[in-house]
Every structure is written in C-alpha cells, then in structure tokens.
Amino acid sequence: MTDVTDLSAEVLLDATPDAVLLADSEGTITYANDRVRDLFGYEPDRLIGEPVERLVPGRSSEGHATRRDTYLSDPEQRAVGMDLDPEARCADGSTAPVDIRLSPLDGGDDVQILAAVRDVSERREHRQRISRLREATTQLIDAETETEVAEMVATTATDLFGYESSVSRLTDDEEFLFPVAVEGADMLGMDVRPAYPIDDDNPVARVYESGEPEWYDDIQTLADGYDRGDARAAMYIPIGSYGVLSVLDSDAGSFDHHDRDLASNLATNAATILDRIHQENELQRQIDRLDEFADLVSHDLRNPLNIAQLQLEAATESETALEKASDALDRMEEIIEYTLTLAREGNAIGETEPVALDAIARECWTRFDTEQARLALADTPRIHADPERLRHIFENLFDNAVDHAGPDVLVRVGELDDASGFYVADDGPGIPEADREAIFKRGYTTTSDGTGFGLLIVDEIVDAHGWEISVTDSVDGGARFEIASVTVDS
C-alpha cells in the first residue's frame, strides 16, 4: 500500500475533481492544478503571476478587489456568494457557473488563499429546468381539454427543456395511441408520426400497458419496423392511464437520470391535470342529467298529472274517465322509471363479462305480454358487456319495436355480417333517414304516449361500453339498429 506521506501536495491537488488555485494577499495567482485546464481551458503555468480577476467575468469584476480585501481582513473557510450564482471566465471567453470555496493558509508573513472551484453548469441547468417545470405545471392547470394538455406537454419538452423532439400520444378508444401533439419531428427527419396499436409490440404500447417507462440509448437498435428518422436516444413515459410521452434526440445516450426524472415529472403532472379534466367532465355530465331530470319533472309529468286530476274529478260520472286517469298514471310511472334510469346510471357501466346474447334477448322478451309478437334469433355471439345494462338495451329496443310495429311485430336479433357486433331489427314502418340522428335525442317520439327516453337510454349505454350504434332498414322493411365495435368473446 502506498504511504500517503510519500505523495506530494501537488500530486494530491491534481487528483481532486475541483480546479484548485492559490493566490496571495494581493490577489496574484501563485498556483493552479491540472483541473484548471480540464474545466476552464487554461494552461496552469500560464496563470501563475496573473491576477485572479482574469478568471472573473467582466460583469462581476467590478468591486471584486474590495470584496477580496474584506475577506482578507477576517479570512475563514466559506463559500463565495452562493446567492449571487458566481461564474468563472473560461479561456475561450465564455463563462461557466461555479461553486467557489475559500480556505486561508497561514504562510507566515503572507496569507495564501486556497480556492477550490467546481463547475456547476449541470446543477444550475437542472435547477433551471425544475423552475421551468413549475412554470409549465402552472400553465397546465389552466388547460380545459385533453388536447390542450397534450400540446402543452410536447411544447414544454422541446421549447423549455431543450429536447429535440417530443410526441404526446393519447388513447380515446382503447385500441390505438394517437399522436395528439408533435414537436420537432422534422428536425430528426421523421415523417408523420403513427398511431400505435395498443396490443402491438412497440415501446409506446408496452409503456402504456405496463405503466412503466422505457429508456433507450439508441432506439435504432430496436428493429420493430417503425421509422424513427435520425432519432437515437429515446424516452417513453406513461401519462397515467391516458397515453404516453415520447422524447427523442439525435445523439445516442444523451439522456441521463436528470432528464428521465424531469420528463417523468412532466408526464405525472400532465396525468394529474387529465384526472381533473375527466372528473370535471363527468361532474358536468351528472349535472346535465340532473337538469334533464328536473326539466322532465317540471314539464313532462305535468300533462299526465293534469289529465289524471281532471279525469278523477269526473270519475263519479263516467267509467271511461277512470280508465283515462289510470292510463295517465301508468304513463307517469313509465316516465319516472325512464328518468330514474337516466339520472342514476347515465352512461356508467359496471364490470363487463362474457354474456350470451341469445339468453339475454329471450329473458327480456318474456316481459312483453302480446301473444302475436315473435322473436327470431339468428346466430348470436357471446359478447363482453355489463349484463344489467345490456338488458336495458334490449328492453328499450323491444319496446320501441312493439310501439311502432304493433302487437304482431316480428323482431330479429343476430350477429352483424362483419362479426363486429349485433343487430335488433323489426318489420314495422321503419325510420326515415332524415330522422335517424334525432331519434337518440331526449324527448324525441312519434307516438302520443311516448316518453322520448327509451332510445336516449340505449344510446347512453352503448356509448358507455365504447360501442357505436346506427340505424338502417331491415330486410322486412322496418328499422334495424346495428351496434358495432363490440368485443366478441371468441
């Protein structure tokens, strides 16, 4: 083992990670170690005999001599001006942020001052990035839509953090991750950025599914068939359950742990804001449903209630009046049931599970007491659905068929030709093409005793499952409701 006493002071000083200088009481440099060359570009022996002001940038040199004299009047170990963010002037004229620590050395008649100088460019840049992250988060708080959040995240990553390219991808159908906001793709020679299938084997899809980030020193080594232009270093960070932030750079291995932490914090903050937006949107939907309920109670129930009251007053004179009053009360009960379904459940669904479509259809058909009506089941698949809400779909569509086609209606239920879902069709008068969008709006009805809520509830439940509903003509000339984008149990 080497005896430390055999090592010279100069050898020890050259081995330190800091630039070390000695200066006398006049501010003249008397020693500089080799790290001065590495950090600031000066040859150590060329600094000997130079005033320390040579290392002080012009904007900081004024008053430096006074501050030096003040220190020499009571020298002690301390850091220099941490609150001033001190800088050193490099040999090429540039400046570098530094951390300076001074220590007095008693040299008899002349006090020597040892200065340990460390380049803190990386630390200061990281601190500035953290400050930019706070500013960006403050702006994110004001975002009102998913698109605004995605755009702010991509812009922040490139404009504020200095990354060459970034892409904010969000999912809106649980099948693809769409590039909602793209920054700097042209700088890396990339074409229009793709929407990645969630079930594909690529970094974006994996990160979304796992919720764990992935880092690549060189993404070009990943031979997955996707064109990433001149990109080399890559970071993929989940934005909660909403999407993925991709950050790319043309230099391999250019992202360090600071970059990873910064990008992760940005994505986490974005997910928090998206949580808030979704909560606000859901709250607004609930408010809208309650508004519909209040409107219905104050208007739609008034007419049948008035009829019932008038007919009951005349009940002593006519048996027909009692029947009309009973019909009015039945209509009120029906309106209340529809309205409570909409207000309580809206477009929320419970756990989905494999469901036999034919079994649910037969079960719902039994509630109709018309002997002439017929239900014909073709090849019906098993699908993933909330069974209780699926019953509401069939009950309302069957109700609609009986109401418009009569008690001898023929209703067909089967699988769509492309196996993407199922249909419910009748042999009634059909629905004019001009009315096919309006039928799903609240209050739309073509019968005098209709509530206008049945198909609205169907549309809400279909949307809650992530399905799509459309109307066309049936083979029997009636209405055919097609529900697609359904997950079929294979």
Residue-level pLDDT at 348: 63
Quick one: how far is CA 66 from the chain centroid? 55
Helix (H) or strand (E) segment spanning residue 369: none
State residue 133's pLDDT score: 76
Per CATH, 4-119 and 124-276 having the same topology is answered yes
Please say whether the beta carbons of 445 and 451 come within 8 A.
yes
pLDDT of residue 6: 47
**CB of 243 within 8 A of CB of 170?**
yes
Say how far apart CA 161 and CA 151 lie, in whole Å. Answer: 15
Beta bridge partners of 239: 243
CATH of 124-276, one of 3.30.70.20, 3.30.429.10, 3.30.2350.10, 3.30.450.40: 3.30.450.40
> With the CA atoms of 349, 350, 355 and 358 taken in that order, what torsion angle do they form, in degrees rounded to the nearest 10?
-50
Helix (H, G, I), strand (E, B) or coil at 449: coil
Q: How confident is the model at residue 227 (pLDDT cuts 50, 70, 90)?
A: confident
Tell the CATH superfamily of the 4-119 domain.
PAS domain (3.30.450.20)
Here the tokens at position 434 are: 């001009």
Token digits of residue 291: 């508004």
pLDDT tens digits for 365-382?
A: 887 656 788 999 988 889
Q: Which helix (H) or strand (E) holds 383?
A: strand 382-385
Question: If you average pLDDT over residues 51-80, what whole number do you get?
Answer: 77
The pair phi, psi for residue 434, each rounded to 5°, is -70, -20
Q: Decide if pLDDT at 77 tops 50.
A: yes
Q: What is the tens place of the pLDDT at every residue in 198-211?
A: 988 899 999 999 99
Domain 348-490, what fold?
Heat Shock Protein 90 (3.30.565)
Amino acid at 193: R
Q: What's the confidence (pLDDT) of residue 460? A: 84
pLDDT tier for residue 343 given thresholds of 50, 70 and 90: low
Alpha carbon distance 486, 489 (integer Å):
9
Cβ(78)–Cβ(103) below 8 Å: no
Per-residue pLDDT at 422 exceeds 90: yes
Long-range contacts of 293-296 (CB under 8 A, 24+ apart): 293/339, 293/342, 293/343, 296/335, 296/339
Count CB-CB contacts under 10 A for residue 50. Answer: 15
Q: Are strands 410-415 and 374-377 parallel, antiparallel or unpaired?
A: parallel
Q: Which two tokens stand for residue 66?
A: 């006074």
**CA max distance for the chain:** 129
pLDDT grade for 472, boundaries at 50, 70 and 90: very high
> 287 pLDDT band (50/70/90 cuts)?
confident
Q: Report CA 152 to chain centroid distance, whole Å.
A: 11
Say what angle helices 387-405 and 357-365 make with each other, to 10 degrees: 50
Question: 101-126 burial, b if ≥16 CB within 10 A, otherwise e?
Answer: ebebeeeeeeebbbbbbbbbeeebeb
Q: 73 pLDDT band (50/70/90 cuts)? A: confident
pLDDT of 122-181, one tens digit each? 777 777 777 777 887 788 888 889 999 999 989 888 877 788 899 999 997 778 999 999
Straight-line distance from the first to the last Cα atom of the chain, in angstroms, rounded to the nearest whole number: 72
- Span 52-78, average pLDDT: 76
Given phi > 0 = left and psi -120 to 50 = alpha, else beta, which region is 430? left
- Length in residues, the chain: 490
Contact of 354 with 388, CB cutoff 8 Å: no
User: 1-5, 238-242, 246-250: which range is least confident on average?
Assistant: 1-5
Q: Is 229 left (phi over 0), alpha (psi -120 to 50) or beta?
A: left
**pLDDT at residue 434, rounded to an integer:** 85
Residue ranges per structural domain of the chain: 4-119, 124-276, 348-490
